[in-house]
Amino acid sequence: MLSAAQLHEPILPLVRPAVVVLHPDQTIQDALAAIRASAMPSSIHYFYVVDAERLVGVVPTPKLLGASPEHKVSEVMVHNVVAIPDWATVLIASEYFATRRLLAFPVVDAGGRLLGVVDVSLFTDEVIDLARRTYDDIFQLIGVHGTAQRSPWSAFKDRFPWLLCNVAGGLIAAFIASRFEYLLAEVVVLALFIPIVLALGESVSMQAVTLTLQSLTDGPFVFRRLTAALWKEFRTATLLGLGCGGVVGAVVLVWRGEPTVAATIASAIAASMVVACLLGVAFPAVLRAVNADPRIAAGPVVLALADVATLLFYFGFGARFLA
């Protein structure tokens, strides 16, 4: 059985071949005869249906045994098959078992060809539990509990409060922009690059949040660790900001031929990306320091803060150097 130490190994070498594959035009009687004639282990949960080497369906064993002999396999098979891609790691494969109540999954290549089967018996409870936590962490990062939404109303209650963070951030951003209407009227080119400036700030803040959540442990909060993380992220963010700002600034210079505008936009991007990165480190760490779960909705809150900070820098630099 697989352990947590093997999470990042490829799943493909561990795939067992499908002992029996069915064809959609087979009758149930012919399919059962083929199964009886094979040296099939007793723990087969599903039979996969292949047409021209492509996986086209699956038939659970109880459904196959209960079907009328004259029916065709295509009449009883499930067409929408959930399959694990051949590039998956053990962790990715275990997430399939953690989030779906199935006992086995087919493994397919990019062309949809059936390569084999992965059985739940391959994984320890430790691996499945770790995969479930990882799956939940990913959703909590955007303000959603991935495995706890039993109804539309519970999903609404889970997701709506955190969407209000984005609404509030958007309204504040709109207010900030309204205070600089005169600047946008004078320097129209600033309006053209607002989307890319916001996108860069949001992207780099989410990268920082993700890396910070991975580094946080269940142990006590250590301030020295936070300062070290902030210093490291500051240096990384400075390089990222200079790189992205330089690229965008060069585009502005070539496109518009205005060196002052290009330098201002590049500087604003660099400064806003540094601040967005630091927010992505500091906010989850602060939540951890007050014994709150930093995984829950750190993403929406940091995104809103990053948008506000980015626009303040962008319009502040524009007002200082271009107005």
% the chain with pLDDT above 70: 80
- CA-wise closest residue to 148 among 192, 99, 211: 99
Taking the C-alpha atoms of residue 77 and residue 49, their distance in angstroms, rounded to an integer, is 8
Across the chain, what does the average pLDDT equal? Answer: 82
Residue 74 lies in a domain: yes
User: The domain that contains 117 carries what CATH number?
Assistant: 3.10.580.10
Q: Does residue 283 sit in the same domain as residue 167?
A: yes
**What range defines the domain where residue 65 resides?**
4-140
28 shares a domain with 173: no
Same domain, 175 and 118: no
Which residue type occupies 95? E
Alpha helices in the chain (DSSP H): 28-37, 61-66, 73-76, 90-99, 125-140, 152-178, 181-186, 189-192, 194-215, 223-256, 259-289, 298-321
Same domain, 94 and 204: no
Q: Are residues 171 and 118 in the same domain?
A: no
- Please, which pLDDT band fits residue 269 given cuts at 50, 70 and 90? very high
Average pLDDT over residues 171-187: 89
Residues 54-64 have pLDDT tens digits of: 999 999 989 98
Look at 140 and 30; give whichever has higher pLDDT: 30
pLDDT in tens, 121-138: 777 665 656 556 555 554
In angstroms, the CA 202 to CA 280 distance is 10
Which domain-ending residue is among 105, 140, 175? 140
Are residues 136 and 156 both part of a single domain? Answer: no
Handedness of CA 223, 224, 228, 231 (dihedral sign): positive
147 within some domain: no
In a domain, 295, yes or no: yes
Here the tokens at position 245 are 């700002």
